[in-house]
Amino acid sequence: MIAIVDYDMGNIGSVYNMLKKIGRKSEITREPEKILQADHIILPGVGAFDSGMEQLEKFGLVELIRQKALVDKTPILGICLGAQLMLEKSEEGQKSGIGLMEGEVVRFQLSPESKLRIPNMGWNQISKVKSSTLVDVLPEQPRYYFVHSYHFKMANPEDQLLMSEYGYDFCSAFQRGTIAGVQFHPEKSHKFGMALLRNFTESN
């Protein structure tokens, strides 16, 4: 079963509908027993870092997610805020993240001459840093939908999976083993998002 973690942060319905569209059964849940039984976990999210961590703590999900990801090695995919929460900390807030991987979340630092606006909102291309079953099979010229003011800064460059460009190159997806996170929204990225979610749900 694919568990979509419900902590009252984000468009979880869109993730559920996209999985249904590609023929994958999932359940939106915050029940510990159901998450424990899941063979894949998706941690979506939209909003602020501290609010996200407060919600996960409120529902008693932080240690459960750590156990599933780090001990049980259950494949987990973070989306947008969900992925940011998987790192250690963020410039956006004061709370510690879940800490599944070493890294932090930093605000875009665009040059004064830049005409780009924050947040980065819209479609953007990705470039692959390393091989992974998550992204090795995608439609041609893959592009994804982004809405964010902050991005990943990984402590270990080898954890970077995808890069994108918005004023400068930034890490738009990370992965180590069964732990992965994407800054963009595959659930809003049409065939490109379908392909990535299909790849994730077929991983083990």
The question of whether 171 is a catalytic residue gets the answer no
Q: How far apart are CA 178 and CA 196, in angstroms?
A: 14
User: Using CB atoms within 10 A of its CB, is residue 1 exposed (0-12), middle (13-18) or buried (19+)?
Assistant: middle
Name the active-site residue from 63, 91, 187, 202: 187
Name the active-site residue from 40, 148, 151, 185: 185
Within 10 Å of residue 108's Cβ, how many Cβ atoms? Answer: 18
The question of whether 185 is a catalytic residue gets the answer yes
Most distant CA pair in the chain: distance in Å? 52
The question of whether 165 is a catalytic residue gets the answer no
Residue type at position 178: T
Q: Alpha helix (H) ranges present in the chain? A: 12-21, 32-37, 49-58, 62-66, 81-85, 190-201
Name the active-site residue from 40, 80, 148, 171: 80
Q: Which residues are tagged catalytic?
A: 80, 185, 187
